[in-house]
Structure 1
Amino acid sequence: LSADEEEKVLLALEKEAPAKPKEFKILYEDSTSEALFHGMYENLPAAGLISSEGGGVLEGRAFNDLSKQNAIWSGDSITIDRKTAESFKLVDARLTVSLMVQESVFSKYMAHKGGVSRGSGLWARFLICRPASTQGTRYVSTQVPSWYHQTQFASRLEHFLEMDLICFRGNKKEKEVIGFDSEAARLWVEIANDIESRMCAGGILYGLGDHGSKLVEVISRLAALLHCFEGFEGDISMSTLQAATDLAKWYSNDFIKLFGENSKENDEEQELNCWLDSFRKVGKRFVKKNYILQCGPGKFRKKAALEHVLLRLVNNSAIRILNYPGDKTIYVDLCPWQGGL
């Protein structure tokens, strides 16, 4: 055969090559954003980024493309352009992100990247909660606990996984559309207007426009999830929408506590204390106040701003201010809990 004929044979064989089988992969944990999106493109377009040690996700590369994370949440298509591999477009994808994070890890993340993540609207798309610790009250009992409800919950989840598997094998891409009934639709309008009014000056959502603007959509999605999970037929009822509103309000209250007006002071404390940690890590206990004023984070290089945040750290027992007889230099004790002196 000539070279041209051999080339034609090879091209014909290439066209007959079987398509790469898709993997029923739903869960991701230690993944870059590119690997996550490519996995959703090649396999199942619905996935969950789930981690009980969410610090690894926050500090890793899964969250290094916030705009695409936000676009998927909104139901938009995203295009991934790559230099060394095939570019692709992810269409009609669904992504769930569920992270459990230690408070210290989250505080460190917010101190370094909080401005960008809040500014992009990332956290407004989450259900944020910071429950109080139960340490000191977790008593052991001889009573045998009932796992009935947990079993029922697991059974319902298994049902949805089986349905997903059937759609996956049948390559079914159509999605069911659910609406509100007439009573729920009227309630939805009232809820939306109430949330809008609370974003005005003096309202509980004032200064939290990112959260308020997404809250009614979050409520709608929760209502749809409750409707489907409970196996209800027809449109979403007013009682289901009200239950979703109550649930969203619980999460919203924690968002307000975490990111509201008082949180700005907390963020400043965390940022400076995080900077001071660099000295603690190398075993240095005392730092001159003037050194912080001259070399610390930019926002604390004004005397009034620095004194304000130092006072709050003192009140929280994170530091101590002291000087020595005959020495006018003011020192910051970074480890007052060690005692002595």
Structure 2
Amino acid sequence: MNNSFNYMPPPYPINAFPEEIESSIYEVMGKVKSPDALVATSFLATMSIVCQGLIDVKLPIGQISPVSLNVLIKAESGERKTATDKIVGAPIYAHDETGVGLYERERNQYKSDHSFWKTVESAIKGMIAKAVKEGGSVDELRMKLDQHMKNEPVKPRSCRFIHQNATEAALMHILEGEGRSIAIASDEGDVVFKGGLMNRAGLRNKGWDGAQLLVFDRVSTGSIIARQPRVTVNIMVQDAVLDVYQQDRGAVARGSGFWARYLVGAPTSTQGFRFINYIDEVWHRLPAFHARVKELLEQYDAMVKSGVIKRQVIEFDPAASADWVRMVNVTEGMIQPWQYLNDIHDFASKAMEITSRVAALLHFFMKREGKITLDTFNRAKAIVEWHLHEYKRLFSPQSTTPTMSENMIEVEKFLFFNYWKVGLFHAGKNQVLRNGPNRLRSKALLDPVINAMAAQGRIHLFKDGSSNRIMIGLNANHFNSLMYY
């Protein structure tokens, strides 16, 4: 994944959300001071989690698609990822907490019921053995055993939505059955990337695609079958964690189309600008969003309890369908050689389906009547378009890489703020190597930059006589002319 050198992505299109959601997003941004895309995608992911079990979307070409979204946002430590996630998704976490307590009580009751059931089973088998030994009839006992086997207590299932650290087998156990709806979500992506859930792109891709069946075969467990499962992924991750994953599995993730199924972004940091102008402890807009989330959670729970999983299919109206077809053709043309989307054809090929999912989420969450309108579709297009440009910036091999000039500016800024501004006129070269810009913390990368800066007269190198260390001297004429803020 490429880094975003000297580039600030445009503001997230928050105004593309319906007004009720837009105002809630701005309220969270105003109170928490998190980056715009971090907050907005938290709302998107929350909507995906609570809607995916209840609806599907019918594309204008007739294909039925899930509405589940995959979201990946890069954000460094201190961007208030945890606070944002907990505030926006509060009803889901509360639902899970209640569900865990209920599951524990049901599990304890199950253990008691199953123990009694096993005792009765043993007793019936004992009577059958005795009858066989004595040459008596076992027909009635056989019928009794058959009926008993049919009455085996059913092991309770956890109704928890949010999952983070689980093996592939554990995930399949969670999804086993009909129409299970869960989320792989974490404000600390390291937990997800190291937990085993990200190891097999093929299985995860099938889940996103809405496979009718997911089958997991193991000698120890037998076949685990999940029918029409729905999985939302929402990961907030630091650069270093994602870089390690990319080095190990990035080629497979990109080549398999795994990343193409994600709405990715690396919003501009808000750190250093999170000033508080007033204190207002009351949430004015967010409660309405939370109320709708709770309503949809209750609808899904009721459907699961009924034992009948039947999702509503959301369709496009004629105007939206016509524009959908037009955009498919425009996008396809832009994949041609030398066109804008050629280097990210993997995401471009999924973009219109993702847009359809976002449109269906906005439509259903806001209780819109009838079919998806052109207005809703245009809102979804604006949201996905922002992520399309981010995908190109972060994944395209043609995206701008750091030039020598950009690297020199990065080192110069580091020296200016950490040394010159505090009255220090030289720095240990090894100190800069250890503490300087992250991407230049290797001798092979830093040395050419230092030598180029020395050649231009910005700095000079010398050896400290007492410590024998190589030092970087800051040339006064040059650093006095700098105007970094």
Shorter-chain TM-score: which interval?
0.7 to 0.9
Q: Which residue of 1 aligns with 2:361?
A: 225
More strand as a share of residues? 2
Q: Residue 14 in 1 paired to residue 141 in 2?
A: no
Of 54, 58, 62, the match for 2:197: 62
**Structure showing greater relative contact order (alpha-carbon pairs closer than 8 Å, 6 or more residues apart):** 2
Q: Which residue of 1 aligns with 2:378?
A: 242
C-alpha offsets along residues 22-57 of structure 1, whole Å, 9 cap, x if unaligned?
332222111112211211115861110111111221
> How far apart, CA to CA, are the structure 2 residues paired with 1:142 and 1:72?
45
Per the alignment, do residues 314 and 84 of structure 1 end up closer, same or farther by CA in structure 2, a change over 3 Å counting?
Answer: closer
5+ unaligned residues in a row in structure 2: which ranges? 1-126, 133-137, 403-429, 431-438, 452-467, 471-485
Q: Residue 72 in 1 paired to residue 199 in 2?
A: no
Of 447, 461, 481, the match for 1:320: 447
Of 180, 183, 186, the match for 1:48: 183
Higher mean C-alpha deviation, range 235-244 or range 198-207? 198-207
> How far apart, CA to CA, are the structure 2 residues paired with 1:49 and 1:146?
30
Letter in 1 for 2:383: L
Q: Residue 28 in 1 paired to residue 155 in 2?
A: no
Q: CA deviation at 1:169?
A: 1.1
Q: CA deviation at 1:263?
A: 4.8
Per the alignment, do residues 55 and 315 of structure 1 end up closer, same or farther by CA in structure 2, a change over 3 Å counting?
Answer: closer
- Greater than 3 Å deviation, 4+ residue runs: 4-12, 262-266, 312-318
Of 334, 341, 366, the match for 1:205: 341
Per the alignment, do residues 262 and 134 of structure 1 end up closer, same or farther by CA in structure 2, a change over 3 Å counting?
Answer: farther
User: Does the CA-based 8 Å contact 1:198-1:206 persist in structure 2?
Assistant: yes
User: Does the CA-based 8 Å contact 1:314-1:320 persist in structure 2?
Assistant: no
Letter in 2 for 1:152: A
Per the alignment, do residues 149 and 318 of structure 1 end up closer, same or farther by CA in structure 2, a change over 3 Å counting?
Answer: farther
C-alpha offsets along residues 260-318 of structure 1, whole Å, 9 cap, x if unaligned?
1345958xxxxxxxxxxxxxxxxxx7xxxxxxxxxxxxxxxxxxxxxxxxxx9599995
Matched length: 282
Letter in 2 for 1:110: Q
Q: CA deviation at 1:235?
A: 0.5
User: Does the CA-based 8 Å contact 1:124-1:210 persist in structure 2?
Assistant: yes
> How far apart, CA to CA, are the structure 1 residues paired with 2:272 and 2:349?
39
Q: Which residue of 1 aligns with 2:289?
A: 153
> How far apart, CA to CA, are the structure 1 residues paired with 2:144 and 2:279?
74
Residue identity over aligned pairs, in percent, reads 30
> How far apart, CA to CA, are the structure 1 residues paired with 2:281 and 2:446?
45
Q: Which residue of 1 aligns with 2:320?
A: 184
Per the alignment, do residues 194 and 316 of structure 1 end up closer, same or farther by CA in structure 2, a change over 3 Å counting?
Answer: farther
Per the alignment, do residues 258 and 8 of structure 1 end up closer, same or farther by CA in structure 2, a change over 3 Å counting?
Answer: same
5+ unaligned residues in a row in structure 1: which ranges? 267-284, 286-311, 324-338
C-alpha offsets along residues 106-151 of structure 1, whole Å, 9 cap, x if unaligned?
1121122110100111111111111011111111223426622222
Q: CA deviation at 1:201?
A: 1.7
Higher mean C-alpha deviation, range 41-50 or range 27-36? 41-50
Larger Cα Rg: Structure 1 or Structure 2? 2
User: Does the CA-based 8 Å contact 1:47-1:95 persist in structure 2?
Assistant: yes
Letter in 1 for 2:447: R
Letter in 1 for 2:207: I
C-alpha offsets along residues 65-100 of structure 1, whole Å, 9 cap, x if unaligned?
211110111111211101112312211111001000
User: Does the CA-based 8 Å contact 1:22-1:42 persist in structure 2?
Assistant: no
Q: Which residue of 2 aligns with 1:101?
A: 237
Q: Which residue of 2 aligns with 1:86?
A: 222
State the SS of the aligned residue for 2:215.
strand
Of 129, 137, 150, the match for 2:273: 137
Q: Which residue of 2 aligns with 1:259?
A: 395
Letter in 2 for 1:108: V
> How far apart, CA to CA, are the structure 2 residues paired with 1:172 and 1:340?
74
Letter in 1 for 2:337: A
User: Does the CA-based 8 Å contact 1:22-1:44 persist in structure 2?
Assistant: no
